[in-house]
Amino acid sequence: MLRILAAVVALAAGGLWVAKGANCGWTKTNIPHQTPDPVTGLTGINYEKGFVPGVDFLAGAALAAGVLSGGSLAVKNTNAGNRT
Partner 1 sequence: MRTQWIPILLLPALAVPAPAAPETFDFKDPKGVNAIMFKLDAPLEAISGSASGITGTVTFDPQNPGATTGKIVIASATMTVPNATQTGHMRSSQWLDVEKNPEITFEAKALKNVKTIGDKTTADVAGTFTVHGVSKEMTIPVELSYLKDKLGERLGGNQKGDLLVLRSSFSIKRSDFNIMPGQMENKVSDTIGLTVGIVGASGK
Which amino acid is present at 36?
P
Q: Residue 39 interacts with partner 1 (CB under 8 A)?
A: yes
Backbone angle region of 35, left / alpha / beta, with phi > 0 → left and psi within -120 to 50 → alpha: beta
Give 54 or 71: the residue with its C-beta nearer to partner 1: 54
Radius of gyration of the chain (CA): 21
Q: Residue 43 interacts with partner 1 (CB under 8 A)?
A: yes
Q: Residue 81 interacts with partner 1 (CB under 8 A)?
A: no
- Distance, CA of 28 to CA of 23 (rounded, Å): 9
Give 32 or 70: the residue with its C-beta nearer to partner 1: 32
Where do contacts with partner 1 occur on this chain (CB under 8 A)? 24-32, 35, 37, 39-47, 52, 54-55
